[in-house]
Amino acid sequence: MLNIRGRVVIYSVVGCPHCLAAKKSLRDAGVPLIEVSIDRFPSVRTWLQGKTGRTSVPQIFFNETYVGGNEELQNALRDEEAWKKLLDDVQENEAKEDELVIPHPSEAVDVTENETKFACENDPAVVIIEDLKKSGILHSHRMSLFSTIKNAFSGQQFIQWIMENKSINEEEASKIGTDLLTKKFIKSIQDSSTFEKDENSFYSLNDNSESSALNAGLTQTCSVESANELSESLRRLIIRILDDHVASDGKAVNYKAIKESEAYKEYTMLSRELQHVSVENLNQDELKAFFINIYNALVIHATVESGPPTNWLSRYKFFDKTSYLIGGHSFSLNEIENGILRANKRGVVQLFVPFGKSDPRRSFSLIQVDPRIHFALNCGAKSCPPIKTYSAENINDELRVATEAYLETDEALKIDMENGVIHLSSLLRWYASDFGDSTEDILQWVLRNVTFADKKEELENILESKKWKVRYITYDWSSNEKE
């Protein structure tokens, strides 16, 4: 380890592969470093963006010299003269105290204690369901010449049974029926959102025994009061699991080891509680945060269980067939992305919109698409934006940060002034209609949202020249699975 008089500071976040790669390179070079986690010191983010003009991490300093992110660090390591200059500075000079913000440990936010965490509290409805299974009122009912439902009961049968079984009046019995329907323990055959106590309204248990959804199976006895609280907890838990099993250089994840971990087993059990969440009353910001978190978690869950897709056909099946049971309905990755988050628009290789007019899931679709979601969804490929957790309260600020950080990278935007070429992420080609009606509309959207001064100026200049063309950057679909 080198002896230095100054200091090398790296600003990072949990789960960031570029941060891990930068830290490994510095340690391999024998450079002692100070790490400031923006997760634990969130107040530093505003200062850091003002200091560097960037939103992304890591950001690295040798004393007062701003190096940049991991890419700039790797370039410096390859340049013998530049690397020697950086090392000479920290070996010979002390750091100026007021140039960088290095918070005192006492200022840290305890992420594990203060983050939203789902608490599993017993739900009395579970006991009712267990009794209902033994009640004798579950029968097959013919609904039409060609339609028969199994293990069903009428609203009238339920009211009579529960009144006798629990010694309660009709009003209380009706409230219990409504509670079971709201919590998705039972479903209405007529797709009604209210519990009716007559003989012509039929209900069945939410049986998922034949479902291929990854979270199918018996749930715990949890009372799920907040859909967003559960989704944030699931996403935070799986990010922590991922962070524990990523290589020190940030380039590979040991998914096989994840599958054997106790934390992953906890995650799989907790994911089953999504079966009973109620998303009907979520507002637009809540729906957005909920389904972004669930999409990202489901991608990792599926990769752990089945491995990453390896070609276009397996990718198609991965996104079309991988699903979770949420609030009594099945949602695939494609249905979450295109049906919910893209306001029920056709996907890249889809001939039709995900939800037809009679599909009850259509009511959960966002009213309009927010293009920034494309920089929040992580599909498991190397070119995907980094993984983060989103909250209903701060979703717009979080999407802004995610968008700005992604547009800083050369994987999203690169300007070739000499040849008049604007290189854009393929995401802006595949989902062009979400960003505007024309290529110029898309570029103007990028210009409004890129905050990195150098790229913003270059993009302004090349657009003003009226002599530009767009090329799309090849998307790296390869996985980060450890071989």
pLDDT of residue 388: 74
pLDDT of residue 367: 96
How far apart (Å, rounded) are the C-alpha atoms in residues 386 and 403? 11
Tell me the two tokens of residue 143.
Answer: 């609904």
Kindly provide the b/e burial profile for residues 177-210, where b requires at least 16 CB atoms within 10 angstroms of the residue's own CB. Answer: bebbbbbbbbbbbeeeeebbbeeebbbbbbebee
CB 18 within 8 A of CB 58: yes
pLDDT of residue 113: 42
Tell me the two tokens of residue 130.
Answer: 């267990």
Residues 6+ apart with CB under 8 A from 138: 132, 151, 152, 153, 205
pLDDT tens string, the chain, 483 residues long: the values are 899 999 999 999 876 778 888 998 999 999 999 999 888 888 898 899 999 988 888 999 999 999 999 989 999 999 999 999 999 999 999 999 888 999 887 787 755 444 545 556 667 777 888 889 889 999 888 877 777 888 899 999 999 999 998 899 999 999 999 989 988 888 898 888 889 999 989 998 887 777 899 999 877 666 666 888 888 888 888 888 888 887 776 667 888 899 999 999 989 988 998 998 889 889 999 999 999 999 999 999 999 998 888 888 888 899 999 999 998 899 999 999 999 999 999 998 888 999 999 999 999 999 999 999 999 998 776 666 766 778 889 999 999 989 998 999 888 999 999 999 999 999 999 999 999 999 999 999 999 999 999 999 999 999 999 889 999 999 888 776 665
Vertex 448: Cα angle to 38 and 418 (nearest 5) = 100
DSSP 479: B
CB 355 within 8 A of CB 243: no
pLDDT of residue 121: 63
Architecture of the CATH domain 124-205: Orthogonal Bundle (1.10)
How far apart (Å, rounded) are the C-alpha atoms in residues 213 and 181? 21
CB 13 within 8 A of CB 49: no
pLDDT of residue 477: 80
Number of neighbours of residue 125 by Cβ within 10 angstroms? 19
Going by C-alpha positions, the residue among 102, 162, 109 that lies closest to residue 137 is 162
Class of domain 8-114: alpha beta
Going by C-alpha positions, the residue among 376, 383, 297, 290 that lies closest to residue 333 is 297
Looking only at the bridges linking them, the beta strands covering 8-12 and 323-326 are: unpaired
CB 301 within 8 A of CB 268: yes
DSSP codes, 260-328: HSHHHHHHHHHHGGGGG---TT--HHHHHHHHHHHHHHHHHHHHHHH----SHHHHHHHHHH-EEEETT
How far apart (Å, rounded) are the C-alpha atoms in residues 149 and 147? 7
How far apart (Å, rounded) are the C-alpha atoms in residues 328 and 203? 13
120: phi then psi, degrees, rounded to nearest 5: -85, 105
Cβ burial of 288 (10 Å; 0-12, 13-18, 19+) is: buried
Tell me the two tokens of residue 335.
Answer: 């249905």
Measured in whole angstroms, the distance separating CA 197 from the mean position of its chain's CA atoms is 40
pTM assigned to the model = 0.82
Residue length, the chain?
A: 483
Q: Please state whether 10 falls in left (phi above 0), alpha (psi between -120 and 50) or beta.
A: beta
Please report, for the chain, the start and end positions of each structural domain, with discontinuous segments joined by +.
8-114, 124-205, 227-400, 403-473
Measured in whole angstroms, the distance separating CA 138 from the mean position of its chain's CA atoms is 39
Task: Identify the H or E element spanning 433.
Answer: helix 432-435
How far apart (Å, rounded) are the C-alpha atoms in residues 473 and 471? 7
How far apart (Å, rounded) are the C-alpha atoms in residues 234 and 212? 20
